[in-house]
Amino acid sequence: MILLQLCLFCALFTLMVKLGVGGNALNGLFFYPKPVQEKVYELGLTDRETVNRKRKRFMPPFFLVMLCALLLIIGLWNGVRSFGPAYAQALLFLEVMNWFDGIIIDRLWVGHSAFWIIPGTEGIPFVQTWKQVLRKRGILTLIWIAGAAIVAGLVLLLFKAPL
């Protein structure tokens, strides 16, 4: 059952990214490295204000949807009511999401899809190297150790039966 839930959670992650960018990679310019962003601004394809506005419209709902999905999976679907199992499940989901994002989203989807190539920026690297992926995901692995405790606490707060 957990494997199915992990697949659904990662599919939701992918769907949220796809909905966020729609049919134009420029809608997700905030995901790109600074040199690509600067070139896009130089080409006049968009401006900083527009990119910042799109980031602010995308990121809060993205985090909220992913958090709510995780809370519902652990607390409602799996019926977890104690901290240890809630923490273990939260950590598993957050770490799988972390590495899924780095490997499947960044390296495979972004790295092998013409959709993500912004005209005029073809010569600028925009896909993280394996070394960058490993470093970033390693750091996030440590952050999610604490993040999982917060999620587990929220699961107990929201779903624990009253005394």
pLDDT digits (tens, 9 = 90+) for 7-34: 999 999 999 999 999 999 999 999 999 9
Percent of the chain with pLDDT over 90: 98
pLDDT of 88 > 70? The answer is yes
Q: What is the pTM of this model?
A: 0.94
Residue 16: C-alpha distances to residues 13, 43, 50, 113, 120 (Å): 5, 28, 20, 17, 26
b/e map 48-60, b = 16+ CB within 10 Å: eeebeebeeebee
